[in-house]
Amino acid sequence: MKKFFALLLVAVMAISLVACVGGEEEKGSVYWLNFKPESDEALKEIAAMYTEETGVDVQIVTAASGTYNETLTAEMDKTKVPTIFVVGNAAAVEQWGEYCYDLTDTAVAKELSDPSYQLKDADGKLCSIGYCYECYGIIVNTKLLKAAGYEADYIKNFATLKEVAEDVHARAAELGFDAFSAADMDDSSSWRFTGHLANLEYYYESVDDPAAWTSCPAEIKGTYMDNYKNLYDLMAVNSATPRGELATGGHDAANQFKTEKALFYANGNWEWSGLAEAGMKAEDLTMIPYYCGVEGEEKAGLNCGTENYWAVNAEASEADIKATLDFMYWLVTDAEASEKAVATFGVMPYTNAAESTNPFLAQANAYAAAGNYTMPWVTNFQPNVDAYRAALVAALNDYNADPTDANWDKVEAAFVGGWATQYEAANQ
C-alpha cells in the first residue's frame, strides 16, 4: 500500500511538472470575456460555428452578473489575456484605455453603420466600438391594459400614467392583476432603479446644461429629483408587493409580468427573448417612456444607448489580435452568424449585419420617427458606479421601510451628494 502511495505521489509530481511546460499555439486564437450573461449560450454556439468554419479557436468566458470589472482585472494579469473585452463608457476608457488596440481603420470598425457608437480616448485613439445598443422604459402588457378599460395610447404623460396605475392598483383584486411588478432592491433588480430610472434625472439636467455634460460632471444639481421621486413612488406603491419587502427582494418581477400578474414592468428590450419564451406576443406588448411629470414629456421617447462596446486587447499577441479582428468582422458580416447574434443582442449597428427583430427596439425607432426625443444613457457617467449605486440602494431601502421626507433627504444625499463624493474618489 505504501509503495502504491509513493508511486502515486511521484506520478502526481511528474504530471504537474509536465503541465507546467505546457503547449504553445501557432495560430492565433480568440478569447472573448463576455459582459452579457443572458447571451452566453448563443455566443458559445457562434464560437463553435466559427471554429468549425475556420479552425480558429474561440473561447467565450462570461463574467457573472455584476462582477465584470473584478473578472476583467484578474484575467488581464494572466498569460492568456482576453482578446475581446468590454470598455463601455468614458470611465472605462480612462481605466482600460492603455490596453485598447487602436481600432481605427480596421475592417470591423468600417462596418459600423452609426459613428456615434465609438469611444475614443483623449488622444483620439478609437478604443472601442459598440456591438449592440439597447433601450429601456416601462414595458406594458396592452392586453391587460385593455382589460382594465384603457386604450394602448391613452398613457401620454405622468398624469395619465398615474391615473391608470392607481386605478388598476385599486381594482387589483377584481382585475386579477396589479399595476407595477415588484421594484425589488436586491442586486439582481436594483439597477433598474439606481441605474435606469436615475437616467431621467441626469438626462433632463443635461438638457438644461449640455455643456456641463460633455464628460462626467464633478457634481450634479438634482433639479429633477422630484420627478425621479414621482415615478419611483408610483412604482413602489402601486404594486402587489408591499413596499416594506422590497429591500430583501426575491419577488421575481419578470415572472410577475410574464404570468400576467402585473401590467407594467420597468426594464429594457433585452427582456424580449424571455418574454417571447414565456409565450407573450409582440402585439400585446409595448414600451413607454419614463413619464415623470416633466414639462413637454408628451414628446419623450425611450432611453436608448449602450454599454456594450468591444475593445481589442493591445497586449495580446499579434496573431491573436489578427484572429480576433477577423472573428469580429465575420460576426458582423456573415449572414448566419449575425442573425444569431442579433437574436441575442437585439440589434447590431453594422451595415451588413442581420436586421433586428426586437419589437421594443422597433418601438424606440417609431418614437424617434414620430419626432419624439430619445433619452440617451446619461447614466453611463455615474462615477464609481458600484459604490454610488450601493449607497443609493441603501438610502432607498430606508425610504421604502419608512417613506418620510427625512428618509427621502437621505436618498437625495446619496443621489446628488454621492455623485460629488464618488467623483472625487474616482479622480484623486
The residue among 66, 34, 37, 64 whose CA lies nearest residue 390 is 66
Which of residues 332 and 392 has its CB atom nearest to other proteins in the complex? 392
Which of residues 4 and 370 has its CB atom nearest to other proteins in the complex? 4
CB of 247 to other proteins, least distance (A): 5
Per DSSP, helices labelled H in 22-110 are: 40-54, 68-75, 90-96, 107-110
- 149: Cβ contacts below 8 Å, ≥ 6 apart: none
* DSSP class of 186: S
CB of 28 to other proteins, least distance (A): 22
The total of other beta-carbon atoms located within 10 Å of residue 285's CB is 21
CB of 76 to other proteins, least distance (A): 5
Which of residues 2 and 279 has its CB atom nearest to other proteins in the complex? 2
Which of residues 82 and 289 has its CB atom nearest to other proteins in the complex? 82
List, edge to edge, every strand of the sheet that includes 30-34.
58-62, 30-34, 84-86, 309-312, 126-130, 118-120
The residue assigned the cell 392586453 is 143
What residues make contact with other proteins under the rule CB under 8 A? 2, 9, 12-13, 16, 69-70, 73, 76-77, 91, 95-96, 244-245, 247-248, 250, 383-384, 386-387, 390-391, 393-395, 397-398, 401, 410, 413-422, 425-428
Cα separation of the two ends of the chain: 63
CB of 27 to other proteins, least distance (A): 26
Q: With DSSP H G I counted as helix, E B as strand and the rest as coil, what are the percentages for the chain, rounded to 5?
A: 50, 15, 35
How many whole angstroms from its chain centre is CA 311?
17
CB of 9 to other proteins, least distance (A): 7
Query: With contact defined as beta carbons under 8 Å apart, do 291 and 137 qualify?
Result: no
Which of residues 1 and 370 has its CB atom nearest to other proteins in the complex? 1
Which of residues 70 and 114 has its CB atom nearest to other proteins in the complex? 70
